Structure 1
Amino acid sequence: MTETEPTSYFEACKHEHWVKAMQSELQALEQNKTWTIVSLPTGVKPIGSKWVYKIKRKSDGSIERYKARLVAKGYNQVEGIDYFETFSPVAKMTTIRVVLAIASIRNWFVHQLDVNNAFLHGELCEDVYMQIPQGLEGFATDKVCKLTKSLYGLKQASRKWYEKLSQFLISHHFIQVPSDPTLFVKKTSDSFTALLVYVDDIVLTGDSMAEITNIKNELHHTFGIKDLGILKFFLGLEVAHSTKGITLSQRQYCLDLLAETGDLGCKPSSIPMDPSLKLHHDDSAPYTDITGYRTLVGKLLYLTNTRPDIAFPVQQLCQFLDCPTQLHYKAAHKVLRYLKGCPGSGLYFPRSSDTQLVGFTDADWGGCVDTRRSITGYCFFLGSSLICWKSKKQQTISRSSSEAEYRALASGTCELQWLTYLLRDLQVTLIQQPSLYCDSQSAIHIASNPVFHERTKHLDIDCHVVRERLQAGLMKLLPVSGFQQLADIMTKALHPANFHRLLTKLGLLDIYRPQLEGDYQDTSS
């Protein structure tokens, strides 16, 4: 029973470790002065609360601690009365990859922090009343908790916490960068420090251990933090450090997914999608477990954060969440069979990499059978580190392959522009002008010359985007053969030979196969 998570307060009360976890949570709430006990005002309906139990595990699956969290039933809140604004940004996955790639190249220290009861630090400006929670005894029936601080589950909780943390960091001479509002940097005469926020998880990196220790102490004094040391496990991403570089994988997440679906013992596949299969809204038998299909695709979607090799098949599977068929589920199972053969594969950021920014854009004209829209694919490298990629269906139908390629080029150009802003904010100087490779000569001609007016007048905005960035010197637009087009893996299903030829050039590494991938020793411990 120690490895199961209770679903109710009464079930949790039967186990001492969960009782201790609840007492610890209530003690933290009282110390933080999260609420005051008052009589319920006339005409006010208090919101409820519930306990949520979670077993925190280490990256190897072993139990780290038992955590009980009191959560307000925020779904009962009324907009305009109990809350107003709710939006709170979280770090982009591309930003996380870029920061780790730069940290690897520059041999920065990379540490992780967890803020204790992060949401409780936000100051509420609205009057919110909550029923006395289970476990807090000795009060009359007409008494309720008037919340003075934010609480998990409230609609505005994440926004209030983000505001509080932002104000604290800015007061300590950090600068909130324009390219990503969750990234804060601090530059002094002899050090550079970057802090990345994902709700209550913080990645802290920089070239000065003294500066990192100092900001840790300041954060702990104000909020109370758990110093997790060198970054090893973050948002389900496993981070391994060595003298040669940093790897980012989701091996445990992948194995858990295979275990949930019963595919740990299945026969592996060499490719994630059959190239002869064109998924569409077909008339085969419907897949009855629609929720199960959506759950599976959602988990595969999160896996693409470190697995660009499954980006295209997962993009295809996402098109059929409304009414999946047996054929769609079979295609999803094909991805699982592919993952079975390489669950530990992930991104590799070598320390020997340079800081040249290179991108590839491609399109599969009319790739969607149902809508005849094209598929855009692009990927970007910082030196030899893959930091960004996308596989996405275009918004409109293209009348020619040139138009489809040009729209993909416009998407890649906008991403390249943002990456240059992000690198500039991280004080990274590119060794030369960024390069963007495209395998369509006509798309390159359209970008470089104001020609083909009759054929391109409906592309006006995309034309201006690419042409203006090109004339401003943002990038060099270079041709590449279709055989060398790395973004091809993002736009279509490939045969095994082509798939693995391109996959090797993406720089993925499986540190759990040292006999195949080379010697890689973890020195983070």
Structure 2
Amino acid sequence: MRIEYGASWVWEQYHMGCWGECFGTVLMDAGALYRAVGKMGLLAGNLVEPKTYKDALTQSCLLEAMQEELNEFKQLEVWELVPRPYKVMVITLKWIYKVKLEKLGGILKNKARLVARGYRQEVGIDFEESFAPVVRLEAIRIFLAYAAHKNMMDVKTAFLNGKLREEVYVSQPDGFVDQDNPNHVYKLKKALYGLKQAPRTWYDMLSSFLISQDFSKGLQISQSPRGIFINQSKYALESLKKYGFKSCDLLDTPMVEKSKLDEDKEGKAVDLLHYHGMISTLLYLTASRPDLQFAICMCARYQARPTEKHIHAVKKIFRYLRGTVNRGLWYPKDSFVALTSFADADHAGCQDTRRSTSGSLEFLGERLISWSSKGKRVL
């Protein structure tokens, strides 16, 4: 929508999306328009999302979203309605609402999530293990670097079936109480948003499934009395085989010296999906291969319209990888742990925009834990 300042009246066609009907072309006082928009949940381009179930009752689209959420619960057999057990804590539930927007600001989807108030859970009674599977690779490398320094490491991993091992009971959700059994509660069969153990059970289930299907993309970690070695040789070999580089001429560097890639507007375009796949495959290797970072990021800039020139540069990276499959990171045991950082820049290196590329390295003692190669957004 548009509101013109400095005018008493405005003409505008505006839409409320799911939050209201299309009102067509209107003529009203600017102040009245502001007030009307605020009441409908739109003000200065921002959506006001309901904080409580009562606030959401006036929006039919959110009622549909809540019903859709409960339909998913039924389909996945998340819970079963049972009589309330004696002397058992029942965890209450809460509705969370979120309006998902498109890039241009339009409403893409209204979401309703039913979450448990997990902060009421007690360790050893309602849950035993909690685990967050999302972690930055830098955090993993710092942990391993410090483990090498201390000459000790203890990582325990258990793969379960994804179902709750504890007996957990939750209340019936607001607005969806069973009229025949209003005092009953739900006994959970599977994890619910908000539970302490929810991330753990999800991760266990996903890991078990992927491993059963022979998927493996993790870092290979080898420990010895002298330190820890990290690499991705297994994944590298699978990638070389996938793209036909199992047997090829080897290169000493991932890029030709002083190589300058550009948009190549006159060049012949290549298969977009194939190029994207090669770049994505190589990017995962940068978790343990800082020597590939700059070359891969340079080629990744041209994913919108790759040409033969660009795919030729990507193939050079694969040929370099073929001769360096077993390279990785070495974290020696006997080394200090002072943090040291290095930075450099390729000034005006981009042939298309003349923007610079900055690079940095961070060491914990003699152990490389973080690195980056990024194009600047401004000149």
Q: Residue 316 in 1 paired to residue 284 in 2?
A: no
Q: Distance in 2 between matches of 1:112 and 1:318?
A: 36
Amino acid at match of 2:288: T
Identity %: 30
- C-alpha distance in 2, partners of 1:263/1:114? 36
Where 2:197 maps in the other structure, the secondary structure is helix
Asked if the contact 1:123–1:149 (Cα under 8 Å) also holds between the matched residues in 2, the reply is no
The answer to whether the aligner puts 1:304 opposite 2:289 as a matched pair is no
2:323 — aligned with what? 341
Cα displacement string for residues 186-224 of structure 1 (whole angstroms, at most 9, x for unaligned residues): xxxxxxxxxxx99737xxxxxxxxxxxxxxxxxxxxx9x
Contact kept? 1:349, 1:384, Cα under 8 Å: yes
Residue 179 (structure 1) aligns with: none
Query: Tell me, what secondary structure is at the counterpart of 2:157?
Result: strand
Deviation at 1:330, TM superposition (A): 0.7
User: What residue number does 2:341 align with?
Assistant: 359
Conservation of the 8 A alpha-carbon contact between 1:150 and 1:160: no
CA deviations over 1:326-358 (Å, ceiling 9, x no partner): 111111100000000010100000001111211
Q: 1:93 — aligned with what?
A: 137
Residue 164 (structure 1) aligned with residue 197 (structure 2): yes
Cα distance in 2 for partners of 1:357, 1:300 equals 28
| Cα separation, partners in 2 of 1:288 and 1:354, compared to 1, 3 Å | same
Partner amino acid for 2:333? R
1:6-36 per-position Cα deviation (integer Å, ceiling 9, x unaligned) = xxxxxxxxxxxxxxxxxxxxxxxxxxxxxxx
1:206-249 Cα offsets, whole Å, 9 max, x none, are xxxxxxxxxxxxxxxxx9x99xxxxxx98511001111110000
Q: CA deviation at 1:317?
A: 1.3
1:487 is aligned to none
For residue 254 of structure 2, give the secondary structure of its aligned residue in structure 1.
Answer: coil
- Tell me if the contact between 1:91 and 1:198 (Cα under 8 Å) persists in the aligned partners: no
> 2:221 aligns to what SS in structure 1?
strand
* Residue 200 in structure 1 maps to residue 217 in structure 2: no
Where 1:301 maps in the other structure, the secondary structure is helix
| Letter matched to residue 80 of structure 1 | K
Quick check: 1:102 aligned with 2:146? yes
1:278 to 236, 257, 260: 260
- Structure-1 separation of matches of 2:315 and 2:308: 10
Alpha carbons of structure 1 residues 123 and 265: separation in structure 2 relative to 1, 3 Å: farther
Q: 1:250 aligns with which of 202, 222, 232?
A: 232
Are residue 116 (structure 1) and residue 160 (structure 2) matched?
A: yes
1:371 aligned residue: 353
1 CA distance for matches of 2:111 and 2:281? 34
Structure 2 unpaired stretches of 5+ = 1-63, 77-107, 117-131, 174-185, 209-214
- Which AA in structure 1 matches 2:284? Y
In 1, Cα distance between equivalents of 2:152 and 2:247: 40
Q: For 1:389, what is the secondary structure of its paired residue?
A: strand
1:261 corresponds to 2:243: yes
Instruction: Give matches, 1:401-440, under 5 Å.
Output: none
Listed one character per residue, the Cα deviations across residues 88-118 of structure 1 (whole Å, up to 9, x for unaligned) are 8711100000000100110123323134245
Distance 1:393 1:124 in 2: 50
User: For this pair of structures, how many residues does the alignment match?
Assistant: 245
Residue ranges of structure 1 left out of the alignment (5+ in a row): 1-40, 51-76, 128-145, 152-156, 167-196, 202-222, 227-232, 398-525
What's the counterpart of residue 513 of structure 1? none
Tell me the distance in 1 between the aligned counterparts of 2:170 and 2:304.
39
| Amino acid corresponding to residue 108 of structure 1 in structure 2 | M
**Partners of 1:301 and 1:332 in 2: how far apart?**
11
Report if aligned partners of 2:164, 2:201 keep a CA contact under 8 Å in 1.
Answer: no
- 1:80 equivalent in alignment to 2:62: no
- What does residue 11 of structure 1 align with? none
Structure-2 separation of matches of 1:198 and 1:96: 21
Match of 1:291 in 2: 273
Q: Supply the AA of the counterpart residue of 2:319.
A: R
> Higher helix proportion, which one?
1
Work out the CA distance in 1 between the residues paired with 2:219 and 2:232. 5
Assess if the C-alpha contact under 8 Å between 1:286 and 1:323 holds in 2: no
Residues 123 and 160 of structure 1 are in contact (CA less than 8 Å); yes or no, is this contact kept in structure 2?
A: no
Structure 1 residues 313 and 124, CA gap change in structure 2 (3 angstroms): farther
| Alpha-carbon shift at residue 125 of structure 1 (Å) | 8.6
CA distance in 1, matches of 2:258, 2:171: 58
2:342–2:360 CA contact under 8 A, matched in 1: yes
With normalisation by structure 2, the TM-score equals 0.56
TM superposition shift of 1:371: 1.6
2:343 maps to amino acid: T
C-alpha distance 257-287 of structure 1, shift in aligned 2 (>3 A): farther
- Paired residue for 1:383? 365
| TM-score w.r.t. length of structure 1 | 0.41
Preserved contact between residue 254 and residue 317 of structure 2 (Cα < 8 Å):
yes
Contact 1:90 1:198 in 2 (8 A): no
One-letter amino acid of the counterpart of residue 93, structure 1: L
Relative to structure 1, the CA distance from residue 289 to residue 345 in structure 2 (aligned partners, 3 Å threshold; closer, same or farther) is same
Task: Write out aligned runs for 1:125-204 (5 A).
Answer: 148=188, 160=194, 163-164=196-197, 200=203
Q: How does 1:30-109 map to 2 (within 5 A)?
A: 46-47=71-72, 79-82=110-113, 90-109=134-153
> Which amino acid is the alignment partner of residue 230 of structure 2?
L
Secondary structure in 2 matching 1:112: coil
Counterpart of 1:300, as a letter, is L
Pairwise CA distance, 1:165: 6.2
Query: Does 1:236 find its partner at 2:239?
Result: no
